[in-house]
Amino acid sequence: MNNGAGMRTIELIAKKRDGQKLLKSEIQYLIDGYCQDYIPDYQMSALLMAIYLKGMDAEETACLTEAMLLSGERFRFKEVSPKVDKHSTGGVGDKISLILAPLVACCGIAVPMLSGRGLLHSGGTLDKLESIPGFSSDLAAEAFHQQLHSLGVVMAGQTARLVPADKKLYALRDATATVASIPLITASILSKKLAEDIDALVLDIKCGVGAFMQTPEEAKNLAASLISTAERHHLPTTALITNMDQPLGYAVGNWLEVREVVNCLQNKGPADIMEIVYALAAHMLVMAKRAENTSRAKEILDKKLRSGEAWEKFLNMVQSQNGETRYLRNPSLYETARYEKKLYAPQQGFVTRIDAMKIGMSVVYLGGGRAVKEESINYKAGIQLNVKVGSQVEKNDLITTLYSDTPISETIINGVMAAFKIKKKPAAETTLILKTLSTKNLL
Ligand code: URA
């Protein structure tokens, strides 16, 4: 680092630390400097923490999004239309994209999906896909383009050429407790989505104990930030705020979740997962003008799922990205984790809570997530639930099984047990889809 650049970076970190607004040129300088390696991780970490604590206004957020977008190339898929994508703000057991992307692609809509890796307790689409032996999420632009053209669906990651700023910042945020920040999440998601050259976007804003936004108010603010920043970049966007108090479905952990995806695509998926898949996918069909309303869209989607077309599309996508589909056709071929621990209900009653944050963090401790950015992931590690909130259990019924390749400590077991609440009376039923927002009803 030369001294001039070092000084300027320190001044800008201090400016944000003191709650002042950064200018477009300053944000551009910081992102360029980090991507070109003359701003080191430790300075960027300090800046991220200052943004986390002091926030950014709408203009700064839009500038950050643009600077990150411009850090790499943008796709141009002129001959492919319509193109619509979906993105989640991150949850536990959130495998929605893996089911939704091939399903929507079966309805004549191209889905060029750039996804992320696990962040803290929340799993990442790329990690899940990479648990399939051979699967490559690191696609060159030409290969991405070709597959979108031939199959209508691609699921890949940021690369050195595509949104490299997000690739670097995402990993750094994960390791510096700076994930749950509205401007940082907004810029991270939209820089990827704007690089995809899509016509419309549907967002799943997770809200609850297992989400980065824990209250409806925070979730609404994140939705507003995402929708208004997308609007500044002329990208029509709809956001659903969905409940993330308990994990989605029954599986948490990369390969366990892929196994659950296989069930969903074979029309044997849990009700909560399928409700969210259909709700988000229906908005994609409506925005792409492939259905006149969401009810009609759900009928179309249901047909595509039941006919097996979506399952075939998923297999074709995995194969095209070098994944070994025999593990999907026959999941029992996959090696199982060395250690397994079954946990039982301590008393009879109703499950009233399964704390998604505690389950998500336990999966990280079992080896299924990252605590520091260079850490590798054990795809077999995870937690398989046997119950959901509302389930009735007898004393000593199996409630969950833990999987890991390293011995499972008492601390992890206690953490998982603490996630469950079993009471004499069932809890009041909760709604899964809390709100639907779009440019029209937000701005
Ligand atoms: N998903 C992303 O792509 N980025 C975030 O910051 C959070 C979720």
- For the chain, list the domains and their CATH numbers: 3-55 (1.20.970.10), 84-329+435-441 (3.40.1030.10), 337-423 (3.90.1170.30)
Nearest to 202 by CA among 141, 277, 260: 277
How far is it, in rounded angstroms, from Cα 285 to Cα 316? 21
Q: Is it the case that residue 387 has pLDDT exceeding 70?
A: yes
Task: State pLDDT tens for residues 424-435.
Answer: 999 998 899 999
Q: How much distance in Å is there from the Cα of 124 to the middle of ligand 1?
A: 9
Residue 4's pLDDT band (cuts 50, 70, 90): low
Looking at residue 85, its pLDDT comes to 97
Burial status of residue 154 (CB atoms within 10 A of its CB: 0-12, 13-18, 19 or more): buried
How far is it, in rounded angstroms, from Cα 167 to Cα 182? 18
Nearest atom, ligand 1, residue 173 CA: 6
Q: Going by C-beta distance under 8 Å and a sequence separation of 6 or more, which residues neighbour residue 140? A: 159, 161
Would you state the structure tokens that stand for residue 353, as one six-digit string? 């809570």
Task: State pLDDT tens for residues 314-340.
Answer: 999 999 999 999 999 999 999 999 999
Q: How far is CA 10 from CA 1, 2, 14, 260, 370, in A?
A: 12, 12, 6, 47, 29
Place of tokens 């850490």: 375
Sheet of 420-423: strand order equals 392-393, 349-354, 420-423
Pocket of ligand 1 (CB under 6 A): 89-90, 116, 119, 179, 184-185, 188-189
Q: How much distance in Å is there from the Cα of 213 to the middle of ligand 1?
A: 12
Q: Which residues of 201-240 are buried (b: 16+ CB within 10 A; e: fewer)?
A: bbbbbbbbbbbbbbeeebbbebbbbbbbbbbeeebbbbbb
Looking at residue 433, its pLDDT comes to 97
Mean pLDDT of the chain: 95
How far is it, in rounded angstroms, from Cα 163 to Cα 68? 6
Contact 127, 94 (CB under 8 A): no
Looking at residue 443, its pLDDT comes to 47
**Count of CB atoms within 10 A of residue 23's CB?**
14
Task: State pLDDT tens for residues 29-83.
Answer: 999 999 999 999 999 999 999 999 999 999 999 999 999 999 998 988 888 889 9
Q: How much distance in Å is there from the Cα of 173 to the middle of ligand 1?
A: 10
Which residue, judged by its Cα, is nearest atom 6 of ligand 1?
Answer: 185
Task: State pLDDT tens for residues 193-241.
Answer: 999 999 999 999 999 999 999 999 999 999 999 999 999 999 999 999 9
Cis-peptide, bond into residue 82, ω within 30° of zero: yes
- What is the value of pTM for the model shown? 0.94
Task: State pLDDT tens for residues 342-362.
Answer: 999 999 999 999 999 999 999
Residue 117's pLDDT band (cuts 50, 70, 90): confident
